[in-house]
């Protein structure tokens, strides 16, 4: 999920893990610098946006049940890169990619199953809806800012947020789901 119009309309759903603390503040500021007006919170996507008609309460129950066996894990951020087919500028992951793939495979089922236009590739989106030249310029700025960042470069994935698009570029949290939640606390 990124800033700008993007292909996401109303009734798109996604599952994300928000990045906490100082790292989130830095990434939110960087995203706003690269794409002025970007108001989305920094996150890593577990289930990319999908245009589904679904029972929201049933989806939340299913996600909660499936997530209780998934233990929290650490994600460390790597380098700035560009997806060449879409000109999306992103931060790669140096740790946690395997766990995110497993979580994606486990939760991309039932009424939430969706085969998107691109293979699942965990990352942190910094800017999208760019031309090739704009992506190169944004990546250069992002690399300079990232090289100068002296704060944390990782975070723990402990909670997921099930979100719905209200309009292009505007997402609303529907539920927060803890990983590793014991059966008795449901």
Give the pLDDT score at 53.
83
Give the predicted TM-score (pTM) of the model.
0.89
pLDDT tens for 97-121 read 999 999 999 999 888 999 988 899 9
Give the pLDDT score at 184.
45
pLDDT tens for 76-86 read 999 999 999 99
Percentage above 70 pLDDT, the chain? 91
Per-residue pLDDT band at 10 (split at 50, 70, 90): low
Please say if the pLDDT value at position 182 is more than 80.
no
For the sheet with 43-51, list strands across it. 43-51, 12-18, 159-167, 170-178
- Taking residues 4-9, report their average pLDDT: 49
| Nearest alpha carbon to residue 48 among 93, 130, 115 | 115
Complete domains list, the chain, with CATH: 12-180 (3.90.1140.10)
Count helices and strands in the chain by DSSP H and E runs:
4, 8
pLDDT tens for 127-167 read 999 999 999 999 999 999 999 999 999 999 999 999 998 87
| Nearest alpha carbon to residue 141 among 22, 14, 24, 36 | 36
Q: Which residues contact 139 (CB under 8 A, 6 or more apart)?
A: 80, 81, 82, 89
């Amino acid at each position: 999920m990124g800033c700008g119009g993007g292909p996401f309309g109303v009734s798109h759903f996604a599952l994300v893990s928000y990045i906490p603390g100082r790292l989130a503040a830095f990434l939110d500021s960087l995203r706003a610098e690269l794409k002025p007006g970007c108001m989305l919170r920094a996150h890593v996507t577990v289930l990319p946006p999908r245009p589904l008609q679904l029972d929201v309460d049933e989806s939340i129950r299913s996600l909660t049940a499936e997530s209780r066996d998934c233990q929290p894990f650490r994600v460390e951020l790597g380098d700035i890169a560009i997806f060449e087919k879409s000109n999306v500028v992103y931060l790669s992951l140096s740790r946690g990619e395997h766990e995110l793939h497993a979580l994606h495979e486990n939760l991309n089922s039932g009424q939430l199953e969706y085969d998107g236009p691109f293979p699942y590739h965990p990352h942190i989106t910094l800017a999208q809806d760019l031309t090739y030249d704009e992506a190169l310029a944004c990546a250069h700025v992002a690399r300079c800012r990232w090289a100068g960042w002296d704060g944390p470069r990782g975070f723990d994935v402990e909670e997921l947020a099930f979100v719905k698009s209200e309009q292009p570029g505007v997402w609303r949290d529907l539920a927060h789901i803890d990983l590793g939640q014991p059966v008795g606390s449901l």
